[in-house]
């Protein structure tokens, strides 16, 4: 009997200790933490999750998992918990911003899919919504990622099993008892911010509160979000911090951290927290006067230097800001800065050339950012009109699968564009590399990336953007084999409710939709046609038109279509591929033919294409084959009766007579009867 009582007491004490876990770090000088990636503890006790190193990932976790619920109970509710910590975000270039920090609860310290250059070091968009992720993050973000729906570049958000915030607010603290008394905190300034994250098991409520360090704790939280964490938390979870940096770097520092389950966490002592910057020295009045004199002298010299630079710039042929630059906000670089970045546009920095001119790799001296500089030749087919089109098209676009435009330069009649440097070069060179062909999983990943970029251009950005030149040489591949769609010299922008009226035929032979040769009118559907050709090119490892092949195989689309009609489409698979997923290959072939259908209304929208590639929708059967002698008549009917600027819609034009149907043969009428809407 005494032994049973003793066992009950031991079990009871263990349950209490497991439920009531706590720790307190006023500085991290002697803290035992699990650090990975770029995270480390500085000599003064500051925990640096990342530093100013480009493309670095940092994770810092409490070394052992903590118990947050008891699965042996009937309800298995998550225990209440409370934590507070002090952090500072210091971008290397505050005006340009940087990357944010995430406070994280995770079922594992091995975050699958976390990238070294974006997404706060959290699992990336390929695993969004995956319930196996089991993480809760509170993000303190200083970049606006439009594809993730970020509200601005200075916000606090709650992320559950996804890097897309469920709720977010501009970083601010509230004073008094009125929610409208908000005071914004500029987290990019490097200010030390104290944060409180608290969960009430009884109310099923998650609260997030912030304020500048040494300010009184606000009485109202910034975010109060009702959620039952029982479906998100496992019995034991790791707790810590996560961050990453890309081209724009930042230091993510923690000064102190306190946590407790089933009770309020201990308060941090500001007097014991480490300092981020060395203390200011006190100077005497004589030294102060000398400093003022030196400062005034420096200002005079700076004024003289600025005047000299202005005169030199006018002499060198740089013009004043153009109206379109002011509207689209692209940065204008000095020619001397770009020349220095590329070592005088030397041959060692040359990474590519073509009909438009040359591309050079460089490092901008003022920011140390690695860039690719497109130097447009004097006799290039790309003139000022295309140059401006590329700036106005790309300047405001933000998507992970688009090449990012940093700025431009115009010196006399010389034109230059400054882009992200993408290390693996063009898809064209990788796909047709005779020594090392692209693996299939890399090709399929690239196809999904290009599709998501086109979906963004067609439907998700502020204005509809028609690229008009989708091809392998205009797609760049980064170090992780992510696709980056570029070269917007032929792109056009339209409001979403305006139909394009372009009548000038542009593009690349082999990728051009057949209706372009008659109407000259580019639409989202003509971009889809080019994408379909690209998909077949990736699957078959052949160019759209290859004069070296026999007449039967000369045009890739016709060859694959013929093999498909015979039930032998898998014979078109790139023979250089040792391994591939047969289902993905068949999907790609089928999708390529569907997107390249001669009638625009039979092509899917890019939204449907993305759904097909992600397995969220099933591909429909290909429409019946149309005889070539009937194609022109069918195409005219399609132009008359369909709104080809939006392939997801079908609009009847009442001014046209339906009597024209009588001239169609049975197969053509059958094709019309099977018209699909995507």
- Neighbouring CB atoms inside 10 A of 432's CB total 15
* List of long-range contacts for 265-273, beta carbons under 8 Å, 24+ apart: 265/22, 265/24, 265/82, 265/83, 265/84, 266/22, 266/24, 267/84, 268/24, 268/26, 268/84, 268/85, 268/86, 268/194, 269/26, 270/213, 270/214, 272/26, 272/27, 273/26, 273/27, 273/86, 273/213
Q: What's the CA gap between 331 and 321, in Å, rounded?
A: 10
To which residue do tokens 């020349």 refer?
339
Of 340, 355, 389, nearest to 522 by C-alpha is: 389
Report which secondary-structure segment, H or E, holds 610. helix 606-613
Evaluated on CA atoms 397, 601, 641, 513, the torsion sign reads positive
Q: Any residues with CB less than 8 A from the CB of 136 and at least 6 apart, and which?
A: 104, 105, 158, 159, 160, 229, 232, 233
Provide φ and ψ at 102, rounded to 5°.
-125, 135
Kindly name the residue from 141, 469, 478, 639 that is annotated as catalytic: 469
Q: Name the pairing type of β-strands 331-332 and 405-411.
A: parallel
| DSSP helix/strand/coil, 253 | strand
Q: Left, alpha or beta for 573 (phi > 0: left; psi -120 to 50: alpha)?
A: beta
Active-site residue flag, 639: no
Q: What's the CA gap between 149 and 581, in Å, rounded?
A: 33
> Tokens in use for 423?
């290390």
Residues serving a catalytic function are: 469
């Amino acid at each position: 009997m005494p032994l049973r009582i003793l066992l009950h007491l031991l079990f009871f004490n263990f349950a209490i200790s497991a439920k009531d876990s706590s720790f307190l770090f006023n500085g991290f000088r002697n803290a035992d933490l699990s650090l990975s990636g770029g995270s480390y503890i500085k000599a003064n006790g500051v925990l640096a999750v990342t530093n100013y190193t480009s493309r670095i990932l940092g994770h810092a976790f409490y070394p052992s998992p903590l118990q947050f619920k008891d699965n042996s109970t009937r309800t298995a509710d998550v225990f209440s918990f409370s934590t507070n910590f002090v952090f500072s975000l210091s971008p290397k270039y505050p005006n340009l911003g940087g990357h944010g920090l995430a406070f994280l609860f995770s079922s594992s310290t091995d975050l699958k899919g976390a990238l070294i250059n974006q997404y706060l070091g959290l699992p990336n968009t390929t695993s969004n919504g995956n319930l196996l992720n089991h993480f809760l993050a509170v993000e303190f973000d200083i970049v606006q990622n439009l594809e993730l729906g970020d509200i601005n570049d200075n916000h606090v958000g709650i992320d559950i099993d996804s890097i897309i915030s469920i709720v977010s607010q501009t970083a601010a603290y509230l004073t008094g008892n009125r929610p409208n008394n908000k005071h914004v905190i500029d987290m990019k300034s490097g200010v030390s911010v104290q944060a409180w994250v608290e969960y009430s098991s009884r109310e099923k409520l998650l609260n997030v509160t912030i304020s500048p360090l040494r300010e009184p704790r606000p009485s109202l939280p910034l975010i109060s979000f009702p959620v039952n964490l029982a479906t998100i938390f496992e019995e034991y979870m790791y707790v810590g911090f996560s961050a990453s940096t890309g081209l724009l770097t930042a230091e993510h520092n923690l000064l102190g951290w306190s946590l407790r389950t089933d009770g309020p966490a201990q308060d941090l002592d500001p007097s014991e927290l480490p300092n981020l910057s060395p203390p200011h020295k006190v100077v005497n009045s004589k030294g102060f006067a000398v400093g003022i004199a030196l400062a005034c002298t420096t200002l005079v010299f700076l004024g003289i230097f600025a005047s000299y630079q202005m005169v030199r710039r006018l002499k060198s042929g740089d013009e004043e800001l153009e109206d379109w630059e002011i509207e689209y906000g692209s940065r204008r670089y000095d020619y001397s800065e770009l020349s220095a970045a590329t070592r005088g546009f030397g041959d060692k920095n040359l990474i590519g050339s073509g009909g438009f001119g040359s591309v050079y790799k460089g490092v901008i001296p003022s920011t140390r950012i690695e860039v690719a500089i497109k130097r447009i030749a004097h006799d290039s087919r790309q003139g000022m009109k295309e140059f401006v089109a590329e700036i106005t098209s790309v300047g405001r676009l933000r998507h992970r699968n688009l090449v990012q435009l940093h700025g431009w330069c115009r010196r006399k009649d010389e034109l230059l564009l400054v882009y992200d440097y993408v290390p693996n070069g063009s898809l064209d060179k990788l796909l047709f590399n005779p020594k090392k062909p692209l693996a299939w999983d890399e090709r399929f990943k690239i196809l999904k990336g290009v599709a998501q970029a086109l979906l963004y251009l067609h439907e998700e950005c502020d204005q509809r953007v028609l690229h008009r030149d989708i091809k392998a040489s205009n797609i760049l591949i980064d170090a992780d084999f992510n696709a980056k769609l570029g070269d917007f010299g032929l792109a056009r922008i339209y409001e979403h409710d305006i139909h394009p009226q372009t009548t000038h035929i542009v593009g690349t032979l082999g990728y051009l939709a057949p209706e372009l040769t008659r109407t000259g009118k580019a639409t989202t559907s003509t971009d889809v046609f080019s994408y379909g050709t690209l998909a077949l090119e990736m699957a078959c490892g052949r160019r759209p038109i290859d004069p070296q092949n026999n007449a039967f195989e000369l045009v890739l689309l016709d060859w694959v279509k013929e093999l498909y009609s015979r039930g032998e489409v898998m014979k078109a698979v790139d023979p250089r591929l040792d391994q591939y997923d047969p289902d993905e290959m068949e999907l790609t072939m089928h999708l390529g033919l569907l997107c390249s259908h001669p009638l625009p209304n039979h092509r899917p929208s890019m939204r449907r294409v993305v759904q097909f590639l992600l397995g969220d929708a099933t591909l429909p059967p290909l429409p019946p084959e149309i005889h070539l002698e009937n194609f022109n008549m069918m195409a005219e009917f399609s132009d008359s009766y369909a709104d080809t600027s939006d392939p997801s819609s079908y609009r009847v034009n009442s001014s046209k007579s339906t009597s024209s149907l009588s001239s169609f043969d049975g197969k053509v009428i059958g094709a019309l009867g099977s018209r699909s809407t995507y």
